[in-house]
Amino acid sequence: AQSVTQLDSQVPVFEEAPVELRCNYSSSVSVYLFWYVQYPNQGLQLLLKYLSGSTLVKGINGFEAEFNKSQTSFHLRKPSVHISDTAEYFCAVSDLGGATNKLIFGTGTLLAVQP
């Protein structure tokens, strides 16, 4: 069974400051890793994903994430946030080589960007 842990339920940060949202996962098999973003009153959309290869992946809106296999982590970073980045961010995993695209989500981190 897989599980995803997002330790921070809320991260307040000032505009133009850097931010890191933490994600750790547990799985008995190799996994794909994702970050999705949910803006207020909207559905989720994909920020970035790690499938294989380079452990540093870049996504939309200036976000990037680093896969660390030994620490089973996939932390999301942005060097300078904007007010418009205020949203809830979800880390998710799915089985590598699985027969479905079943996603298991973490509990989410609310990024609150203050002026």
Partner 1 sequence: NAGVTQTPKFQVLKTGQSMTLQCAQDMNHEYMSWYRQDPGMGLRLIHYSVGAGITDQGEVPNGYNVSRSTTEDFPLRLLSAAPSQTSVYFCASSSWEGGTEAFFGQGTRLTVV
Site residues, partner 1 (CB under 8 A): 4, 6, 9, 32, 36, 41-46, 49, 51, 90, 94-108
Cβ within 8 Å of residue 79, ≥6 positions away: 18, 62
Residue 80 Cβ, how far from partner 1 at the closest point, in Å?
Answer: 26
The residue type at 104? I
Q: Which residue has the tokens 């995993």?
A: 93
Of the pair 31, 113, the CB lying nearest partner 1 is at 31
Of the pair 16, 74, the CB lying nearest partner 1 is at 74
Q: Are 88 and 111 in contact (CB under 8 A)?
A: yes
Residue 81 Cβ, how far from partner 1 at the closest point, in Å?
Answer: 22
